[in-house]
Structures are given as structure tokens and as C-alpha cells.
Structure 1
Amino acid sequence: MDALATLLDGPRARGAFLLRSVLTPPWAVKVADLAPLTLVHMVRGDAWIRTDDGQARSLSCGGIAVIRGPEPYVVAGDRNTEPQIVIRPGQVSTDVDGNELCEQMDLGVRTWGDDPDGAHGAGSGAGEEAALSAVMISGTYQMRGEISSRLLSALPQVLVLAPDAWSSPLPALLSEEIVRDEPGQEVVLDRLLDLLLIAVLRTWFARSEAKAPAWYAAQSDPVVGPALRLLHDDPAHPWTVADLAARTGVSRAALGRRFTDLVGEPPMAYLTGWRLALAADLLREPDATIASVARRVGYGSPFALSAAFKRVRGLSPQQHRERIAAAASS
């Protein structure tokens, strides 16, 4: 498994929030839900995504945006339209004064907005056209995991893929599935969202403007790439630089220099960071003990994991777990 595949295995949707929005111009929605990652697909109409730093990105019909949280942003049909709707934590929608709109704007299965017909007629005379409502699908990952944080740190706050920049059947499939109300549909939508995210990020990282992180570029190196895959495939193995060098067919010194030059840190430091990222993610599971997590990420005892965790992250595994619980309850 390559480095990108392993990192993309982290943000796996579990009950993701998916919504089809139908909004009549002029429209603008401020998103302040604190979510770590959201995908937005414009099914009909165009939009602008504005961030608090004053930047604005155009999202044309058929395009997809990936927006990294938790900073707020505005999605609007026009660059200058002020928000009329606010999406708050817990995916609660209100007007700008805080009055709830969830029930008022409910349009059926995972559909929400102010136009029940999906369009708003401008007239029926000759030469007159309907002013169609915008339709967009948003998929929101609602939990921040430590592995996905490693990936999210490599992303800009907003990335946009124009419809002519890639080709995939996934957006159309998601459009069909999001309005179905069948047994197990939430799981189907979770997996579709995961696949769409992977497809978008794979396309994005292949582009020159993506400024891919060092670990992504290094995976194509004939020496460092195989070493990274070995570490990601089996982090619990008692790896040494000598072992990795033997597996990749170079000397210890050559592997150490090349790995550090391309990845930005020595192999064993990278392995420690990866193991602790895995451990932090596994500690989110309520039934996982510190001992079981230690075994899965390559530490011989709970004490060894705790010592490494506190040395690198500044808190113990138990304190990390308590912080997660406190954040979830708030």
C-alpha cells in the first residue's frame, strides 16, 4: 500500500452528513459547522466559495470543491451576496438571527432548500426562460481523526476541480443515491463519499499547483517509495534502518540520506510519527485498550506507548482519549 492510499484510509465516513440543497437565487449559506472536511458538488448552477481571509473561488456547474475546516466559509450563487442561512455545529440550519430553519426548509429525503419544485418559474411567455434554482450536494466528514489530520495538513483550505479537469462516474452516482430511502442507504452513501474523496484528491495531488507534500512525491522514488510502503503496510514490525535498507537493496547510509532528503525526516522518526498517528486514531475506538493499541502499532507494552506518546505529543494516551471525549460532548 502506498503512502497516499494509507493516509486516505484514515478519513473513512461513519454516518457522514450528506445533503442535497435546492436554493433560489440570490442565495448564500455561511457554513460554521466546525467540520474537518466537506465536499461540495454543483449539480446545477454556479457558485462562489468565500473564506474569511477574503479569498473567493469559483465553482462552476459540474465542479467539485473540497473544503478543509474548521474555519467558516460562505457558499453563494453570487460573489457578493450576503448569507441568509447559517449552518451551525450539529448541522443545524438557522437564519442569521439564529432562528431554526431545518423543518421549514425540509424538502424530503436528504433534500433541503427553499424551492420544492427544484426550479422557480420566471414566466411562460415566448422567449422567457425559467430562472432555475441552484442544486448542490454536500458531504461532510464530522469527526477529526489523527490520520486524516496528517492528510488535511497537506490540503489548502479550498481546492476546486473544474468539470473539465477530470472524469468520473461517481458524482452522477452520488446524485442518484442521495435521494433514495432504502435499507442500508447510509452505508452506501458513506462509501460513495469515501470513493469520491479519494478520486478527487488523487486527481488533485497529480496537478502541479497542488504542491504535493514530501511524502507524496517520495513514494515514486525507487528507493524511498518501497521503504515507505513497508512502513505503512506493517507499522507493528520491529523495523530498523538496516532492515529497511536490506529490503530496498541499498546501504543503511544511502537509505538514511535519501529518505531524509525526500521525506524531510529520518526513517525511524517518520515511523514513530506514523505509529503515534495510528495510535491516536485507534484510541478513538471506545473498546480499544491502551495495551491492544500498543500491540497494533509496534510498541511492546502500554508503558512504552505511553512514554512515546507523551514525549512526542505532550500528553498521555489516556489524556488524549479524555480530550476527545470532552470535545465530542461539547
Structure 2
Amino acid sequence: MVRFLARRLVSSLLMVVIVASAALLLATASPGDYVATAGGIGANQQRMARERVRLNLDRPPAVLYLSWLAGAVRLDFGTSLLYQRPVGALVAQRAANSTLLAAAALIIAALLGLPLGVFTGSRPTGLAPSIVRGASVLCLSVPPLIASILLLALAAMTGIFPTGGMTSLASPADGWSWWLRDLAWHVPVPAMAVGLPLAATLERVQSQALADALAEPCMTAALARGVSRRRLLWRHAWPLSAKPVTAVLGLIAGALLSGSFAVELVTAWPGLGRLTYDALGARDIYLAAACASAAAAFLAVGILGSDLLLAIVDPRVTIAPPARGPTAP
């Protein structure tokens, strides 16, 4: 287990470094820079040149990258050109907001997708299972961007939930209790926009896995021996179907982040999606590289968590390196 975790952590760290390096090199190699974007058309060229020297943007891309990498090793990701704040603290704050949104969306996806998957998987025919399957296909077909727009329109018409942001602008003297209630009031719309397609994915995977488990010959034999269908479903078939559901959780973690980016832009949620958009629009190379590394870290954590859950759910899954076959004499 320790060797497995060490290998996974090293590969995850390598993936984060590669993604961040690629983001920085691509941002520096593309035409234009932060100074040109901020100066706009008709800006004084001499003043722009002096600004590039001040911000160290006049150096070759290779020198700029090596300087950034030396600081990143010390967890110093530079200063944001756009916000004039340390990049690490800025990304950490926005990553916490994105994590909150992703956690809420994952809770919605699990509470809806898994029970509905058990319902449709245990009932291959019928009107209600067909309606659930149709709703899942519809949720999978609607992109998170369109879903967030529709949910915002519904919130505006009903007035049940706010139409954007993470908290209200007002700051009553109630303190943390008011802030938590206000946060809980703002979370449902973006969380549902991200979580409904994931709930549909979980429903489809759980339904098919449960149907395959119930079709096993051992399940038929258990029914013939007098085991009740309810006991067979929950004590035998459902645990057997947990393996493929657990295996897809790593992909869901990546979908959480990619889906939340578009939702954050539409709903004005101050997370990594909005920060990445601002960094790319302003050509803030340091901030863009840090956002890319944070996205890669999200995906790495999701894949690692999926592997660990899979090893727990199915003890037959080995986490040791595959044994080598006998060598020819």
C-alpha cells in the first residue's frame, strides 16, 4: 500500500508539473503579452518596453520558465500581473471556492444518481424506470453551460434562489451564522448545474452494473434457494455492482472541474473557472500556470481517491505491481 501511494503521489506531482510548465510555455510563446493587453491599441511603445523590463517579461521564454520553476520548487509561484497579489494565495482561495461547489455537486449527484440507478437497474421494464432513463439521457445531453442558464432563468422567475454570486453584498452583524445561511442559499443553482449531468452519469453506470450483477448465475441460484429479492438486491447484487461505479469516480472528478468552469462564469461563482478565464484574458502567465496546476491537482486527487476506493470495495483488486513472467533461458 505504501509503495502504491508513493508511486501515485510521484506520478500525480509529475503530472501537475508538466501541466503547469506547458501552460506557462504556451502562454509565453503565444503572440502578445500582459503589457500589450493592458496597454491596448495606441499605447506608448517606450512606456510598454519599460513596463516589460519592470515585470521581467522581456526575458526569453526559457529563462522566464527556469526562473518560475526555481520559485515553484519553493512554493513561490510569483505575483499575479493582473491582481498584484501572490499567485499561491489567490489560487488557494479560489480553489477552496471551487472545492465547495464540487463537493455540493458531488453530493447532489450521489444522492440522486445512485438510488435512481438502483431503481432502474432492478426494474428493466415499466413506465417509471423509462421516465428516469429518459431524464438521465436529457441531463447528459444538456451541457452545464446551458443548464446553468436555464436554472438561472428559473431562479429569476421564481425568486427561490439568487441569480448569481457566492454570497450577498450585504454584511449584517450576525457574523458566521448569517454567512453560512447566505452561502447555503447561493450554492444550489450552480451545484445543480454541475451535479445533474453527473447524477445522470452515475444513474446510467449504477443501473447497468446492477443489471449485470442480477444477471449472474449465482443470483438466479440464490433466488431458487428462496432468498428474497430485497435481500438479494441489497446484500449481494448492490455490493457486487459497486466496483464499476467506484472506478468511474476518477473521471467524475475531472468532469466536476471542467463542468464547473463554465458554470462559474455564468453564475458569477468566484472559483478557479472564473480566475482562469481572467488570467487567460489578461495574459497573466503566472496566474494561468498556477490555475492549470490546480486543475491538474484536482484531477490527480480524484484519480487517486478512485483507486483507493476501488481497492477497498473490491479486495481482489491488487495494488501491487504486476508480477513478471518467467524469463526464457
> TM class by shorter-chain length?
under 0.3
Q: Please identify which structure carries the higher helix content.
A: 2
Higher-Rg structure is 2
- Bigger relative contact order, structure 1 or 2, given CA contacts below 8 A and separation 6+? 2
Q: Please identify which structure carries the higher strand content.
A: 1
Normalising by the residue count of structure 2, what TM-score does the alignment of the two structures yield? 0.25
